[in-house]
Amino acid sequence: MKTVNIGLLGFGTVGAGVVDGLRRNGNLIAARLGVRPVIYRIADLDTTRDRGVPVEKGVLVSDAAGVIDDPNTQVVVELIGGTGAARACILSALKQGKPVVTANKALLAEHGAEIFGAANASGTDIYFGASVGGGIPIIRALREGLAGNRIERILGILNGTCNYILTRMEADGLPFEAALAEAQDKGYAEADPGLDIDGHDTAHKAAILASLAHGMIVPLDAVRVEGIRGLAKLDIRYAADLGYRIKLLAVVKRAGGALDVRVHPALVPLHHVLASVSGVFNAVMVRGDLAGDTLYYGRGAGREPTASTVIGDVVDIVRNLVSASPGRVPVVTTGPAEVVRDFSTRYYLRMTLSDRPRVLAQAADVLGRHGISIASAIQKEGPDDGFVPVVMLTHEADETACAAALREIDAMDVVGAPTVRLRIEG
Ligand code: HSE
């Protein structure tokens, strides 16, 4: 049987998963393809550490450029990560007309225009299925299965670490730090946990999904990002009392000719399908004008799920090589997207108000003057310090109007602490 040579760059957790997956399922994959993808070379600076997978002598080398330039390397799989060496490697491979598979979300979110441009210029393939959603083939769904749709909305739970933390805080009453430590132990967290909990990892993924769905590059700095650091257990509990669960959501919506792209914690109704996505699982709900709502669910990180998607991309590229149709599914982008600064949504507001007559009316009056309509309000019994928590759910309102109203409310001397403001989506 003919073979196709893969040059693997980066022999970390996912790299080892790819080597292992190709070994375990090699015969099956070869039978499906009619050719056999083989790991021809692996480049990693560390050529001695045992990764627990067998590698033939001479396959593991330290020089990535040598692997890319080797005329026998037919497909390059970049699993180095980061935006330095990985970028140079990918651009070099694409310039040589060699198809590339990458899982590098940060690189695509920051340099997508350059990388997609290089692939299109040389008429070769760039596949990046594992950059969003780990083992969930969401990228493929957007590039192929939903290609006939205008995408109206994407809602995604895209960070397993955050979803794990939120689930453990809500279901088991765990403090934030302990839940984060558990997620790190399980190998889901980024090396810098700030990337997860401050929402940046999700923002990278949101920018990639938005760019693909709308054929326009979404600059990362246009994505509004808030993470889950500092989220209070009290709000998780009040949200539950009101019939909601708090999730870190990526939101992509069309807003006229512009896009609304944001990442923040949001209250999701308990009956919404995304509310039942718990632990490290990820899910993406995509609404197409023809398909309606579609849902993609699975493991968003980890060695084997991520390797599954990387290998799936290799399989597709090998098909394109065999059928001499490189660039069969190009990433077409028409330039930078216009991203809105303001947007409309519903809000959960937790105010800390002095427990005296007319105070609630004063706060409600400020909201009313900013055009914000209250859908429901509950006053909880507070600690014995003269202040009480008042939780309000609003009807849809503009973000700027809400921010202005809260500035006014928080400046009143009857307010004991800054108001907590969370959005409601779903
Ligand atoms: N840190 C990410 C997560 C890994 O927790 O989901 C996958 O991108």
Mean pLDDT by 10 residues, the chain (426 residues): 97 97 98 97 97 96 98 98 97 98 97 96 97 98 97 97 96 92 86 93 98 95 95 95 97 94 98 97 98 97 96 98 93 90 96 95 97 94 88 98 98 97 97
Paired residues of 8 in beta bridges = 42, 77
Q: For residue 161, which atom of ligand 1 is closest to its CA? A: 5
Give me the pLDDT at residue 34, please: 96
CB of 286 within 8 A of CB of 214?
Answer: no
Q: How far is the CA of 399 from the centre of ligand 1 (A)?
A: 28
Whole-structure pTM value:
0.96
Q: For residue 301, which atom of ligand 1 is closest to its CA? A: 7
Output the six-digit token pair for 183: 């997620």
Q: What 8-state DSSP symbol labels residue 242?
A: T
Q: Can you tell me the distance from the alpha carbon of 250 to that of 248, in angstroms, rounded to the nearest whole number?
A: 7
* 18: enclosing H helix or E strand: helix 13-24
Q: Are strands 387-394 and 344-354 parallel, antiparallel or unpaired?
A: antiparallel
Among 131, 139, 184, 190, say which to mutate for ligand 1: greatest number of ligand atoms within 8 Å of CB. 190
Give me the pLDDT at residue 257, please: 87
Q: How far is the CA of 133 from the centre of ligand 1 (A)?
A: 8
Say which residues have a Cβ less than 8 Å from residue 64's Cβ, sequence separation at least 6: 9, 43, 80, 85, 89
Distance of CA 21 to the CA centre of its chain: 24
Angle at 46 between CA 45 and CA 48, to 5 degrees: 145
Residue nearest to atom 7 of ligand 1 (CA): 301
CB of 406 within 8 A of CB of 348?
Answer: no
Q: Are strands 281-288 and 292-299 parallel, antiparallel or unpaired?
A: antiparallel
Q: For residue 306, which atom of ligand 1 is closest to its CA? A: 7
Q: Can you tell me the distance from the alpha carbon of 326 to that of 126, in angstroms, rounded to the nearest whole number?
A: 10
Q: What length does the chain have?
A: 426
Q: For residue 132, which atom of ligand 1 is closest to its CA? A: 8
Q: How far is the CA of 188 from the centre of ligand 1 (A)?
A: 5
Q: How far is the CA of 132 from the centre of ligand 1 (A)?
A: 9
Which stretches of 40-137 are DSSP H helices?
64-69, 85-95, 105-122
C-alpha neighbours within 13 Å on the C-beta side of residue 91: 14
Paired residues of 280 in beta bridges = none
Q: How far is the CA of 47 from the centre of ligand 1 (A)?
A: 26
Angle at 192 between CA 188 and CA 195, to 5 degrees: 80
Q: Output the ligand 1 site: residues, CB below 6 A.
A: 134, 159-161, 188-190, 196, 201, 300-301
Residues that are catalytic: 205
- Taking each helix axis from N to C end, the angle separating 359-369 and 399-410, rounded to the nearest 10 degrees, works out to 150
Q: How far is the CA of 249 from the centre of ligand 1 (A)?
A: 14
Q: Are strands 292-299 and 258-269 parallel, antiparallel or unpaired?
A: unpaired
CB of 157 within 8 A of CB of 256?
Answer: no
CA 112, 114, 120, 122 dihedral sign is negative
Among 108, 186, 196, say which to mutate for ligand 1: greatest number of ligand atoms within 8 Å of CB. 196
3-class secondary-structure state, position 365: helix
Give me the pLDDT at residue 314, please: 98
Q: How far is the CA of 290 from the centre of ligand 1 (A)?
A: 31
Output the six-digit token pair for 98: 């060699």
Output the six-digit token pair for 35: 């050719």
Q: For residue 195, which atom of ligand 1 is closest to its CA? A: 1
Q: What 8-state DSSP symbol labels residue 285?
A: E
**Cα end-to-end distance, the chain, whole Å:** 50
Q: How far is CA 193 from CA 161, 189, 387, in A?
A: 9, 6, 35
Give me the pLDDT at residue 188, please: 81
Q: Outline where DSSP puts E strands in 143-219.
A: 151-157
Return phi, psi of residue 136, to 5°: -90, 125
Q: For residue 282, which atom of ligand 1 is closest to its CA? A: 6
Q: How far is the CA of 380 from the centre of ligand 1 (A)?
A: 36
Among 158, 180, 192, 201, say which to mutate for ligand 1: greatest number of ligand atoms within 8 Å of CB. 201
Write b or e for each residue in 304-338: b if 16 or more Cβ atoms lie within 10 A of its Cβ, otherwise e: bbbbbbbbbbbebbbebbeeeebbeeebebeeebe
Q: Can you tell me the distance from the alpha carbon of 33 to that of 28, in angstroms, rounded to the nearest whole number?
A: 9
3-class secondary-structure state, position 330: coil
Distance of CA 81 to the CA centre of its chain: 16
